[in-house]
Amino acid sequence: MAYIPFYELFPELAQRETRSVTIKNNPSLPDGEYGLLEAYCNELGCDCRRVMFNILTPEGTEALAVVAYGWESKAFYARWFGGNDPDIIQQMQGPILNPGSPQSQLAPALLQLVHYILQDEAYVARLKRHYQLFKQAVNEQAGHPSQHRSRRSKPKAKGRKRRK
């Protein structure tokens, strides 16, 4: 599953709605602006309900941290994954430093910053809206009928036949 920056499909919306934070006098982070660039999964039919934040400064070209955030419950990710491996579930439900991404020395402090930012319920709602828009666009671009299930529906169990 590949994660594609939100701004690639929605450049104007991303420009208006990308969260950035200005830090001053924080003992763990240098003063400056930190942007949380959102990326979402582009796999057709996937309903992982996660975002990857690539955290950058305006001066930087490389992410200082990549934080994965899954906003659903551990039970949701156990059903979605099709198993109850606590290590995998912990990596799905977050926020967590993405284990597959390079991280700078500032990554642990940036993870704490993300924890703080995610207390803003309006921002989390914005992420969910961005996710919905992104998944719909991915499916439409592929000429695929939207396979994205609503938040209220349960993921399909593997091996279960579909009723008509």
- Residue 150 maps to a domain: no
- Residue range 138-156: mean pLDDT, rounded: 54
pLDDT of residue 92: 86
Count how many domains the chain has: 1
Neighbouring C-beta atoms of residue 59, cutoff 10 Å: 7
pTM as predicted: 0.81
- Residue 32 maps to a domain: yes
Count of positions (residues) in the chain: 164
pLDDT of residue 162: 34
pLDDT bracket for residue 11 (50, 70, 90): very high
- Residue 154 maps to a domain: no
- Residue 129 maps to a domain: yes
Q: Which domain holds residue 15?
A: 3-141
List the one residue out of 138, 135, 56, 58 whose CA is nearest residue 101. 56
- Residue 162 maps to a domain: no
- Residue 155 maps to a domain: no
- Residue 158 maps to a domain: no
pLDDT bracket for residue 86 (50, 70, 90): confident
pLDDT of residue 145: 55
Inter-residue contact 52 to 65 (CB < 8 Å): no
